[in-house]
Amino acid sequence: MYVMFLLMGASLMASLIFLGAYIWSVRSGQFDDKYTPSVRILFDDKKKSKKSDTENDSGINEEEKK
Amino acid sequence: MAIKFDQYKTGHSDIEKSESLNCFHCGDPCPDKSIAVGDKIFCCHGCKTVYEILNSNELCEYYDIENTPGVSPKKDLVSERFAYLDDELIQEQVLEFSGTNVNKVTFHTPAMHCASCIWLLEKLHDMDRRILSSTVNFPRKEVSISYAINEMKLSGAAALISSLGYEPLINLDTVGKREQSSAEKKLYLKIGLAGFAFGNVMILSFPEYLSRVGDVDPVFKMVFGYLSLVLSLPVLLFSSRDYYSSAWAGIKSRTVNIDVPITLGIGMLFLRSAWEILSQTGAGYLDSFTGLVFFLLIGRIFQQKTYDVLSFERDYKSFFPLSVTRKINNVEAIVPVSKLLPGDRIVVRNQELIPADSVLLKTGTMIDYSFVSGESEPVSKDAGDFIYAGGRQVGPTIELEVIKEPSQSYLTKLWNNDVFNKPRFSRLNKTVNQVSHYFTLAVVGIALAASLYWLQFDTRMAIRVFTAVLIVACPCALALSSPFALGTALRIFGRKGFYVKNTEAVEALSKVNTIIMDKTGTLTKSQQETIEFSGARLSREEQQKIKSLVKHSTHPLSRKIFQALDTTATLPVTDFEELSGKGVQGIIGGDKIKIGSGSWLGMPVEEIDIEDMKTRVYLHINGQIKGSFLIASIYREGLRPMLAKLFKQFRLILLSGDTEREKATLVNLFGQEEDLHFRQTPEDKLNFVISTQKGDTHVLMVGDGLNDAGALRASEVGIAVTDDVSAFSPASDAILRGENLHLLPTFIKMSKATMSVISASFIISILYNVVGIGFAVSGMLSPLVSAILMPASSISVVAFTTFSTSMRARMMGLS
């Protein structure tokens, strides 16, 4: 029966890890804004291949795609 | 927190969108197709410019997320407008973080309204590589920008988002407060810890629930007990700390608030459990203890419905601009308002605020004081006149000499009054505290009586019964009923455009019996008036002549007539003359036309209605009175039935900063004359509220402007009425959308219904306590009974209050 102590220790450790994760998430401000992330996640990430030379010509392609 | 976009949408996006004639960027109707790029047409060059910027940066996805998401940028963009932000003192206040390479700043941008806005404002680094990152907090309408210090100035960052139409709002108020929601963070931590302890202690107590004596190995019992004790310590020391301090504050001010019996119960629960575990005489009640604190904290978070985007604490600082144009030796420079000194010369442009008490130089002008004094007509001022801070310049650019520092001006002095230092709701005796007073006395009485009785037989039993009574009587359900009932009401109000600051305000609203109202901006719509012409029909030609004449006058009434006439104003005017206080005259197309006051135009005195003399402008053509223009404020819809409803139950008072010119209409609306007061200064209003608050009188003040700020603060409940929720409203307990003002009687009724729900739930929770005390006095309170009774009573009371409050709301048509 004393194997119970091992189980208890393990389960307590697991729950302590979750508690730690929760405390970290509150501290790091993940509860400050409960709305914007829900919108942000829906945005598609576009490839940022030509970040350097976008200035002039590429705009037209963009327009036609629309 | 489910926030719908509609709540934040600004007016322009509500306009019906038909593909062809609406601006591709902002959705506003376009006058023609002259401004276009490819097949996309724009309403103005501002919108086109934004489109071109986005297009050249490959950011047109902006238009795919939402239809016509754009905001038209302000037309009068002055590039140096943000130059004052580079001032070191200002930077110190504005910057959130300042490092060696990176600065971080958070701007409040009220124009933000949809998913596209979030997308674009978080893509700033694609547009300008000097910006490292940007993050949006949509509920707060804030964007945090990190930028490279060596390459970019703060003014550049502000100018960049302004060029996209998201003009940051920077004023003394947004700069002053940087206090983060640390209290809320702490509450989350407290709940997390209590919940963690509750779950684990419950599991460790499980063998105890199911066993009879001797079933469980004593070693397990001991280990489980000690473990529970360790797990409960953070709950005792951290999670429930607020209750101790509140109880202590209550005792110090000689009131027994609800937190006193809670603290007693919590303390007894822990002490008795600790004693039982350490002396190995029992399992203790730590599961009940942690559960109790957990439920109480949940009630607390439910009660805290926060409206991030609204501010209930604004004072004059948030109304005043941060910078002003100062002129030294004919050189104009933008400086922070706080740096203004008496003797400085400042330049104020059309629609700008006058930041300090000053004297007008050179030319005469019109100053709009509607927000400060409630007077709806702009006041004419001549060179050399003294001008109070807070007025808005109407017309061409003026120069002023500052007389007093901004913080010492006539208007800002109002905030030195004592009412602004008193805590809110000091006069409110919360129902729950009244109940808890008797409740605590009764519980302590029963505990003492029961232990005295047991003392005859068994000393240990007496101590056990004494602690058991205090434990079981811990008013968890009692304490939860009002946060849940009032919190539900708060949410229902919020859905109807009535944003209440906290639950105390809902309770205070239910006790109100006198209602004081402001006129301009509260009962009337701000910035809107009707103009009617009565008299002989005017021909088209005559209308043209009149419009041509008033075109030359800067008087506000002339401008209103000018706007009201739907014709052209191209006819030449000769012999034009503007007589101050009388009217204008001139010769157009051979006709001599005079427009002005009745007395000036020789109207017989008895025909001039004294009451509205100021707003009736007579028309006089070639020596003949042709008729008159009647200019009147527009009152909000549903005002008459609302006032009639309120009149039955409350004393209604009107305090207006305006003149008596609309008295007749108001007497008609209010159905009485004695409680209508006009020409009230901000101080008058404040003093009137204080003098009214005697005995049982509880005042509800409904106002809108800075001139009501004192009265709103002094009253039991202050409601600020506003047409644009993100615009300035003075410090108040609640913000009400103008179009929902007619629901005010229902809101008050609802707050009363909520209080009666709370009373009913008090009875239920006291019944639970009677049962529990029955167990306790007979010495039979086992941990299992306690572990069932406490959550059961709490949950059923919470369910009852939430359900019946929403039921009542539905019956009133509020949900």
Question: What pLDDT sits at residue B14?
Answer: 39
What are the boundaries of each domain within chain A? 1-41
- Mutation for testing the A interface, residue in B56, B67, B132, B230 having most A CBs under 10 Å: B56
- Residues 6+ away with beta carbon under 8 Å from B258: B432, B433, B435, B436, B475, B478, B479
Residue B255 within any structural domain of the chain: no
Does B181 sit within 8 Å of A32, measured CB to CB? yes
Percent of chain B with pLDDT over 70: 87
Question: What pLDDT sits at residue B214?
Answer: 61
> Which residue of B lies nearest to A32 if distances are taken between CA atoms?
B181
* pLDDT band for position B261 (cuts 50, 70, 90): confident
Tell me the pLDDT tens digit for each residue of B520-561: 778 887 666 777 787 777 888 888 888 888 877 767 677 778
Residue from A57, A7, A65 nearest B57 by CA: A57
The parent domain of residue B540 ranges over: 526-635
Q: Give helix B476-495 / helix B431-455 axis angle, nearest 10°.
A: 170
pLDDT tops 70 at residue B489: yes
CB-defined contacts A:B, below 8 A:
79
Residue B767 within any structural domain of the chain: no
Regarding whether B401 and B361 lie in a shared domain, the answer is yes
**Any idea what the Cα angle at residue B618 is, between residues B617 and B623, rounded to 5°?**
155
Q: Do B126 and B59 contact (CB within 8 A), yes or no?
A: yes
Residue from B228, B257, B253 nearest B244 by CA: B257
Regarding whether B746 and B604 lie in a shared domain, the answer is no
Residue B474 within any structural domain of the chain: no
> Which residue of B lies nearest to A55 if distances are taken between CA atoms?
B56
Residue B720's Cβ-side half-sphere holds a number of Cα atoms within 13 Å equal to: 33
For residue A54, the chain B residues in CB contact (below 8 A) are: 56-58
Query: For residue B504, what are the CA distances in angstroms to B419, B439, B510?
Result: 18, 21, 10
Tell me the pLDDT tens digit for each residue of B5-50: 333 333 343 334 444 577 888 777 777 777 778 778 887 777 887 8
Regarding whether B139 and B116 lie in a shared domain, the answer is yes
Distance in angstroms (rounded) separating the CA atoms of residues B707 and B682: 5
Distance in angstroms (rounded) separating the CA atoms of residues B194 and B295: 9
Does B56 sit within 8 Å of A55, measured CB to CB? yes
> Which residue of B lies nearest to A57 if distances are taken between CA atoms?
B56
Burial class (CB in 10 A: 0-12, 13-18, 19+), B72: buried
Distance in angstroms (rounded) separating the CA atoms of residues B70 and B54: 11
Distance of residue B110 Cα from the nearest chain A Cα, in angstroms: 15
Highest mean pLDDT out of B113-122, B261-270, B371-380, B418-427: B261-270
Tell me the pLDDT tens digit for each residue of B559-600: 778 777 777 777 788 888 877 667 888 888 888 888 887 777
* pLDDT band for position B56 (cuts 50, 70, 90): confident
Question: What pLDDT sits at residue B726?
Answer: 63
pLDDT tops 70 at residue B472: yes
Regarding whether B518 and B644 lie in a shared domain, the answer is yes
Instruction: Compare B671 and B733 and report the one with higher pLDDT.
Output: B733
Tell me the pLDDT tens digit for each residue of B312-369: 766 666 677 777 888 888 887 777 777 788 888 888 877 778 888 888 887 777 887 7
Residue B778 within any structural domain of the chain: no
Distance in angstroms (rounded) separating the CA atoms of residues B15 and B35: 20
Question: What pLDDT sits at residue B744?
Answer: 92
**How far from each other are the two terminal CA atoms of chain A, in whole angstroms?**
69
Q: Which residue intervals of B347-415 are DSSP H helices?
A: 370-373
* Residues of chain B with a CB closer than 8 angstroms to some CB in chain A: 1, 3, 38, 55-58, 60-61, 63-65, 115, 118-119, 122, 126, 136-140, 180-181, 184-185, 188-189, 192-193, 196, 199-200, 217, 220, 223, 227
Tell me the pLDDT tens digit for each residue of B76-94: 555 566 777 777 777 777 7
For residue B227, the chain A residues in CB contact (below 8 A) are: 8, 12
For residue A7, the chain B residues in CB contact (below 8 A) are: none
- Helix and strand numbers (H, E) in chain B are 26, 28
Measured over the CA atoms of residue B86, residue B91, residue B95 and residue B98, the dihedral's sign is: positive
Does B185 sit within 8 Å of A26, measured CB to CB? yes
Question: What pLDDT sits at residue B477?
Answer: 81
Question: What is the three-class DSSP state of B131?
Answer: strand
DSSP tag of B741: G
pLDDT tops 90 at residue A18: yes
Regarding whether B530 and B399 lie in a shared domain, the answer is no
* Residues of chain A with a CB closer than 8 angstroms to some CB in chain B: 1, 4-5, 8, 12, 15, 18-19, 22-23, 26-27, 29, 31-36, 39-40, 42-44, 46, 48, 51, 54-56, 58-59, 62-63, 66
- Looking at every residue in chain B, the average pLDDT score rounds to 80
Distance in angstroms (rounded) separating the CA atoms of residues B790 and B232: 17
Highest mean pLDDT out of B106-110, B393-397, B675-679, B750-754: B750-754
> Which residue of A lies nearest to B52 if distances are taken between CA atoms?
A59
Residue B409 within any structural domain of the chain: yes
Pairing of strands B734-737, B573-579: unpaired
Across the interface, of A31, A40, A66, the residue whose CB is closest to B185 is: A31
Of B708, B734, B752, the one marking the end of a domain is B752
Question: What pLDDT sits at residue B79?
Answer: 57
Please report, for the domain that includes residue B541, its CATH number: 3.40.1110.10
* pLDDT band for position B702 (cuts 50, 70, 90): very high
Does B56 sit within 8 Å of A56, measured CB to CB? yes
Distance in angstroms (rounded) separating the CA atoms of residues B123 and A7: 49
Across the interface, of A5, A23, A66, the residue whose CB is closest to B60 is: A66
Please report, for the domain that includes residue B409, its CATH number: 2.70.150.10
Regarding whether B657 and B518 lie in a shared domain, the answer is yes
Of B612, B635, B658, the one marking the end of a domain is B635
Residue B393 within any structural domain of the chain: yes
Distance in angstroms (rounded) separating the CA atoms of residues B725 and B705: 13
- Mutation for testing the A interface, residue in B123, B196, B217, B307 having most A CBs under 10 Å: B196
Does B139 sit within 8 Å of A1, measured CB to CB? no
Exposure string (b/e) for B688-708, b if CB count within 10 Å is 16 or more? bbbebbeeeebbbbbbbbbbb
Distance of residue A31 Cα from the nearest chain B Cα, in angstroms: 8
For residue A63, the chain B residues in CB contact (below 8 A) are: 38, 55, 60
Does B180 sit within 8 Å of A23, measured CB to CB? no
Does A35 sit within 8 Å of B3, measured CB to CB? yes
Regarding whether B9 and B158 lie in a shared domain, the answer is yes
Regarding whether B627 and B533 lie in a shared domain, the answer is yes
φ/ψ region of B384 (left if φ > 0, alpha if ψ in -120 to 50, else beta) reads left
DSSP tag of B169: B
Gyration radius (Cα) of chain B, Å: 33
* pLDDT band for position A22 (cuts 50, 70, 90): very high
Across the interface, of A35, A51, A55, the residue whose CB is closest to B1 is: A35
Question: What pLDDT sits at residue B235?
Answer: 94
Distance in angstroms (rounded) separating the CA atoms of residues A51 and B625: 72
Question: What pLDDT sits at residue B294?
Answer: 92
Regarding whether B557 and B541 lie in a shared domain, the answer is yes
Q: What ipTM, to 2 d.p.?
A: 0.73
> Which residue of B lies nearest to A36 if distances are taken between CA atoms?
B138
- Read off the tokens for B9: 């949408």
Across the interface, of A19, A48, A62, the residue whose CB is closest to B192 is: A19
Distance of residue B677 Cα from the nearest chain A Cα, in angstroms: 46
Count of domains for chain B: 4
Residue B38 within any structural domain of the chain: yes
Distance of residue A60 Cα from the nearest chain B Cα, in angstroms: 8
Question: What pLDDT sits at residue B429?
Answer: 62
Regarding whether B672 and B645 lie in a shared domain, the answer is yes
Please report, for the domain that includes residue B36, its CATH number: 3.30.70.100
For residue A55, the chain B residues in CB contact (below 8 A) are: 56
Of B616, B635, B654, the one marking the end of a domain is B635
Task: State residue B62 phi and psi, 5-degree precision.
Answer: -45, -40
Does B63 sit within 8 Å of A66, measured CB to CB? yes
CA B429 from chain centre, in angstroms, equals 24
Beta bridge partners of B629: B533, B617
Does B55 sit within 8 Å of A62, measured CB to CB? yes
